Structure 1
Amino acid sequence: MWAMRLATFNIQHGLGPDGRCDPERLAEAVRALDPDILAMQEVDRFQPRSGFADQARICAEAMGAVEYRYVPTVAGWMSAPGLRWRARGRERYPAYGIALASRLPVRAWRRWRLPMASRWVGPAQLGVDEPRVAVAADVETPSGGFTVCATHLSSRLGNAWAQLPWLRDALGSAPRPLVLMGDLNLRDGAPATVTGWRPLAAARTFPAAGPRFQIDHILVDDDGAIRVESEARAPGTGVSDHRPLVVDVTLRPRD
């Protein structure tokens, strides 16, 4: 059996309750979680509001990751009008997106851009939604390999309900066991109902100051190969309007 700690954390560009984005405070929050694999959402890269920090790198280094991937959803200054929703080719362009970091070796990486497919129109659907993406890693352990996928679904309810089954289908050929982690913007048991996958962690994560519901999730599609070893936690960190979701698991060796 291989023991590991899984965590997902919407870091809200490292924003603290004092209104500051302190890179050392963000790094310390990740060190305290001590994850083997960490999914991150709302991650800034070279943005003025967060001190031009490369937050994915800060978090990856804080946890001792051997590999990580940053996948931008927005290119451009987050505080500027007329923001362009497209990636650019320069290495140090300002961006905002998601990341996945691992202490374990990764055999392959994949990514997807999620659809904006909602036909529902209502108050929660008003405004411009940002693009959404997912990134997956084929991870190697002494007990065998598995897939872990990180994402951040739309805050527009109709889009989130469309994106989750789309991503489930896109991951259909990925090696199992498969772990999905992220801010899914769907409450409590809804993601398990939509996907048919088993939740590994149940804890209220939002809002951070007094969590009332769970919108951050860790799910698994397997045959019982991944076992939960302790009750999931959603500790306070002093960073973000979300709490991280953390669970310790073991992976059963393949026959």
Structure 2
Amino acid sequence: MLKLASYNLHKCRGLTGPHAPERNLAVIRALDPDIIALQEVDFRLGPRIEALPRKLILSETGLVPADIFGTSESSLGWHGQTILMRPHLAAQATLRRLPLPGLEPRGAVALRLPHLTIIGIHLGLARSSRRAQLARLTAQAARIGSDHVVMMGDFNEWRDDRGLESLAGFRVVAPGPSYPAPMPQLRFDRIAMSRDLTLLEAGVFHGAGARDASDHLPIWARIALP
């Protein structure tokens, strides 16, 4: 059994600032996931310096970030994304970057573990781009993944009946409204999992000051492998 989570940090600025990553670290610590996909972990302009300080992650959350090669030494993620996990999982993990099509630069990160592949995603703002990105991801998942695949992140899609057509072979879990954090109305954050994985429970996390730490609330799910 694993507890998975996804969390858009909004560059650790809450809704309007200031930059306060300790709030996001407190949320992650309270959420206590085995694996968490993070979005917007770096500032967007210039050298894309990490917004979530790498040096604080282990001491504050007990998790470690995946090793992402080919990015700036000052960045934590790739296209603002990374995956944190428990140290014993990191010892078994490999990660690769997945470029995505679209009107704006986007990419996904794929964490490969024995018998499970986790893909962290942050899809584009235009539905046409999101459709193309999901089509690319499902094709890549079939090539690089094990038998069991989980895609999770900020899908930027507020509809359940449009834009997700490429995920017909997956079970799509949207635990509840996660955006905007103070008064959540939209289910932007989702988890898409292979149908042979068992979903035990899922939810949106509201504790530990999550409403103030980002413009998104984190989502989580407990799963069991066959």
Same fold (TM over 0.5): yes
Name the residue aligned to 2:18.
Answer: 20
Rounded Cα–Cα distance in structure 2 between residues aligned with 1:15 and 1:199: 29
Rounded Cα–Cα distance in structure 2 between residues aligned with 1:155 and 1:170: 21
Name the residue aligned to 1:166.
Answer: 136
Distance 1:246 1:216, change over 3 A: same
Distance 1:60 1:45, change over 3 A: farther
Matched, 1:184 2:155: yes
Partners of 1:134 and 1:152 within 8 A in 2? yes
Matched, 1:92 2:74: yes
Rounded Cα–Cα distance in structure 1 between residues aligned with 2:44 and 2:127: 30
- Give the number of aligned pairs: 214
Partners of 2:2 and 2:222 within 8 A in 1? yes
Rounded Cα–Cα distance in structure 1 between residues aligned with 2:75 and 2:36: 24
Identity of aligned residues (%): 29
**TM superposition shift of 1:54:** 5.1
Rounded Cα–Cα distance in structure 2 between residues aligned with 1:134 and 1:20: 27
**TM superposition shift of 1:233:** 2.3
Rounded Cα–Cα distance in structure 2 between residues aligned with 1:19 and 1:214: 23
Secondary structure of the 1:5 match is strand
Output the TM-score relative to the length of structure 1.
0.73
**TM superposition shift of 1:235:** 2.0
Deviations 1:70-94 (A, max 9, x none): 589xxxxxxxxxxxxxx6xx63379
Output the TM-score relative to the length of structure 2.
0.82
Name the residue aligned to 2:166.
Answer: 194
Distance 1:71 1:152, change over 3 A: farther
Distance 1:93 1:245, change over 3 A: closer
Partners of 1:60 and 1:68 within 8 A in 2? no
Rounded Cα–Cα distance in structure 1 between residues aligned with 2:217 and 2:83: 17
Bigger radius of gyration: 1
Q: Gapped runs of 5+ residues in structure 2?
A: none
**TM superposition shift of 1:16:** 2.0
Distance 1:177 1:41, change over 3 A: same
Deviations 1:8-40 (A, max 9, x none): 111100112462111211211111111111111
Matched, 1:235 2:209: no
**TM superposition shift of 1:167:** 1.2
Partners of 2:9 and 2:38 within 8 A in 1? yes
Rounded Cα–Cα distance in structure 2 between residues aligned with 1:94 and 1:172: 27
Name the residue aligned to 1:6.
Answer: 4
Backbone CA RMSD of aligned residues: 2.9
